[in-house]
Copies of this chain bind each other. A is one copy, B any other.
């Protein structure tokens, strides 16, 4: 491969594609399947794409198709997808003693949206260790909780670990056959799952900065969070709360009409959190009104933080677009927030990402409306879910035609890899930007 002639963006996509092909082949291993279970090539590829992109949409029932070995393989693919192909491969590279070169660091840098090269290997290690630790702790807690639901210890812990991995990687797959609906009254389980989901969706840079904040023993006052972390976290919290309020209000006369306030808060909050990217659910989303389903589609389209296990246009992109509108209306030439200024090129990038994502989804919706047997609401929901690598569905997934499956695979792929990377594929290596101002950088998409 003439890697020197390929741009870093193109290499990222090649790595993801390799992971997709590798995962497809792995899932086709006959002894990963239950006796009598069948998995066609397109369905294996769909499951692989869904796992690598940590989407969780599925054309087959995971629990009826895969045996324990298959589920273990699936968990490994989820790690690959959740941690990012780049982080993981770099980590493995270091582990087996190879030196990480400039080229690989560049790849990792773009994959994690980092803008300086130093400390990236260290970063990848930390991400991996912190991530696995959270999954193990989550798995143990959920395993203990599940003891009262499942007959024996091994089944309880199998379900506990799968749920923890599915939540932390924001994959949203389930082996219960009905997501988290069996635990719709178990607020402790839901709280743990929500924390794991937020951990996976809030973004690695945020987690690393919080981690650094805690290990900085002296001079806590000297430590300051970056603009990116402040903006991302604030946006994440605001979207989650507003999302929960709208989900509640849009179903005030229907789903929530006879429910107590505690029950209502948990249903609203959980589905706002899960609409970011996770795709787990404590009720069949068909229970919500069509208006709410369209609203949740919008939340899924936005997705989670950049550099996280989530998809969509990302929360930060959305925040910058809103800020740009507000500052434009005030006649101000630049966006000032948290005593920093946003770069003009980042603002343009945000608009590009949002509008490209919107057009991509709209065109997909209209095409699938022609080719698939589903209502327009089901199609809107499915497309948003794929692009947001979310995994919630109104039930269209198993009914998709082969063409529909391929289009959804492409959407999951673009949603996970990101619009900027995908657009840059069309670009050569020596491309230049014209916008250059000496301002603080922020991560987009």
Q: What is A's interface to B at a CB cutoff of 8 Å?
A: 246, 249-250, 252, 289-291, 294-295, 298, 321-322, 324-325, 328-331, 333-334, 344, 347-348, 351-352, 354-356, 358-359, 362, 365-366, 369-370, 375-377, 379-380, 423-424, 426-428, 431-435
Contact = CB atoms under 8 A, between A and B. Distances in A.
Counted per complex, copies of this chain come to: 2
Given A291-B366, A324-B348, A331-B428, 20 more contacts: A249-B370, A290-B375, A290-B376, A290-B377, A291-B365, A294-B376, A294-B380, A321-B355, A322-B359, A324-B351, A325-B359, A329-B424, A330-B427, A331-B427, A331-B431, A333-B432, A333-B435, A334-B434, A347-B348, A358-B358
B250 A325 contact: no
Contacts of A291: 365-366, 369-370, 376, 379
B252 A331 contact: no
A435 B366 CA distance: 37
B325 A356 contact: yes
B328 A423 contact: yes
A99 to B, nearest CB: 31
A352 B328 contact: yes
A295 B351 contact: no
A8 to B, nearest CB: 13
A185 B163 CA distance: 61
A325 B363 CA distance: 15
A323 to B, nearest CB: 11
B431 A252 contact: no
A252 B369 CA distance: 11
